[in-house]
Amino acid sequence: MSAPATPPSLDTTNLPAEGGFIGSGQEGGIVDQVRAYFQRVRNGDMGALPAIGGLVVLVILFTILSETMLGQQYFLTERNFANLLTQAASLVMLAMALVFVILLGEIDLSAGVTSGVALSLFVVLTKPDGINMNWIIALVLALGVGVVVGFFIGFFVARVGIPSFVVTLGLFIGLQGVTLILLGDGGVFRIQIPEFLAIQNANLPIWGGWAMLGVMLLISLGTSLWDRRLRTRAGVPNRTIALVWAKLAVIAVVGGFVIAILSVNRSSSIKVIEGVPIVVPIVLAILWIGTFVLDRTRFGRYIYAIGGNAEAARRAGVKVVTIRWAAFVVCSVLAVVSGVFSASKVGSVNAGFGTDIVLSGVAAAVVGGVSLFGGRGRLLHATIGALVIAVIANGLGLLNLPAGVNYIVTGGVLVLAATVDAVSRVRAGGSLIRS
């Protein structure tokens, strides 16, 4: 007679604690935190550390190459810094969208074309010589397209059990047909809505940038104090309060430096161009909300749990089907937001909109440290990975190198990041084979 099967265990290493508070598993003073961090790195949990290192190296490299190859500094300038932020916005948002499904060990290859269908509907509804609908209502309907597509994918993946790669690959092909039907062959539709175009092409007033930094500090302080209160109420030890002040100091210094640079007039003509691009606070707000959801809500904890071990999560009472379903809806809606940023940047939508960005979004998430095996990664990691990809494209473009070089370098960085992920997983005691 064989022994009864032992239920698989649930890896809670990176799982936010039950009760809504952040649990590091290693409390104490600053020295204890630093020691624990290096221990995690030695165990293979490097997070976004490789991406941050790569970002620093790329910035130094392109700064030197711009000076030596072009004879003038074009990369490390106020104007290019602002351009880099606006160019990266859509990729950052798409990478954040994909994190919700990659954490589950799934993929959404149709995220880019979902935004194409949504923005195609948007331009059809807002055409001045057509329906001429209010642009806010049209935008809500475009986001509704994301809900419908995400619901459709979630049904076939979570309920029917078809692999997400197959379902979203089918949609990647099929949704391009929907865009063609909406826009027609070869059509390019200009967007002439000033408020919509301002998202990517206008800036906050100077005082608005500093006010944004003040709000960020207040929210960070409030969130940290709220976390400490929850932990105290639960009888769990808190980290030293010095870490809270250190985090606020870092945000103040780095944020103040960035805003000071963006507050300089970066125009080469008579018209003054200065201030933080409007898209920046929008991205930061969505990043904060998404991080709050993943770190401090039951929905977020369940995503990590399913990604770590779906069977163990199911036996623990997690509604795996519902969580997977909801994650695909969130991914598709945020993908539409990414499309909004992209359309606002270029001011038009064509039949090929969104077809070439999804793999860059996956690459950004993986480069940032989000594990393709699921269960490990954060939205901030994807954001840093997207900045790495954007810096590569921006820097190589300034050097006037062929587009082929961009693809080769980006692909190489992706393979390197995936290798780091796989090796770190093995060092952490995992396997290269998904369970």
Q: What is the reported pLDDT for 186?
A: 63
Look at residue 435 and tell me whether its pLDDT is greater than 60.
no
Q: What is the reported pLDDT for 141?
A: 97
Give first-to-last CA distance, the chain, whole Å: 27
Look at residue 93 and tell me whether its pLDDT is greater than 90.
yes
Q: Determine the Cα angle at 272 with ends 266 and 277, to 5°.
A: 65
User: Which position has the token pair 């916005």?
Assistant: 89
Q: Are 309 and 10 in contact (CB under 8 A)?
A: yes
Look at residue 25 and tell me whether its pLDDT is greater than 60.
no
User: Which among 105, 100, 24, 13 has a CA at the least distance from the CA of 293?
Assistant: 100
User: Which position has the token pair 């936010």?
Assistant: 16
Q: What is the reported pLDDT for 263?
A: 94
Of the chain, the percentage scoring pLDDT greater than 90 comes to 54
- d(CA 342, CA 41) in angstroms, rounded, equals 36
- d(CA 132, CA 164) in angstroms, rounded, equals 37
Look at residue 92 and tell me whether its pLDDT is greater than 50.
yes
Q: What is the reported pLDDT for 408?
A: 86
Q: What is the reported pLDDT for 417?
A: 73
Q: What is the reported pLDDT for 2?
A: 43
Q: What is the reported pLDDT for 19?
A: 52
Q: How far is CA 228 from CA 27, 223, 225, 232, 354, in A?
A: 12, 9, 5, 6, 42
Look at residue 78 and tell me whether its pLDDT is greater than 80.
yes
Segment 287-291 shows an average pLDDT of: 95
Look at residue 254 and tell me whether its pLDDT is greater than 90.
yes
User: Which among 387, 388, 369 has a CA at the least distance from the CA of 54?
Assistant: 388
Q: Are 54 and 388 in contact (CB under 8 A)?
A: yes
Q: Are 66 and 76 in contact (CB under 8 A)?
A: yes
Sorted by sequence, the CB contacts under 8 Å of residue 51 that are 6+ apart come out as: 367, 368, 369, 381, 384, 385, 388, 417
Which pLDDT tens digit goes with each residue over 54-67? 888 889 989 998 88
Q: What is the reported pLDDT for 3?
A: 45
Q: What are phi and psi of 348, to 5 degrees?
A: -160, 165
Which one has a higher pLDDT value, 264 or 373? Answer: 264
Look at residue 88 and tell me whether its pLDDT is greater than 60.
yes
pLDDT band at 407 (very low <50, low <70, confident <90, very high): confident
Which one has a higher pLDDT value, 38 or 271? Answer: 271
Q: Which of 32-41, 97-106, 306-315, 346-355 has the highest mean pLDDT?
A: 97-106
User: Which among 94, 140, 138 has a CA at the least distance from the CA of 332?
Assistant: 94
For residue 378, the SS3 value is: coil
Segment 38-52 shows an average pLDDT of: 75
User: Which among 274, 291, 383 has a CA at the least distance from the CA of 48?
Assistant: 383
Tokens standing for 401? Answer: 């190198």
For residue 150, the SS3 value is: helix
Which pLDDT tens digit goes with each residue over 182-216? 987 667 888 989 999 999 999 999 999 999 999 99
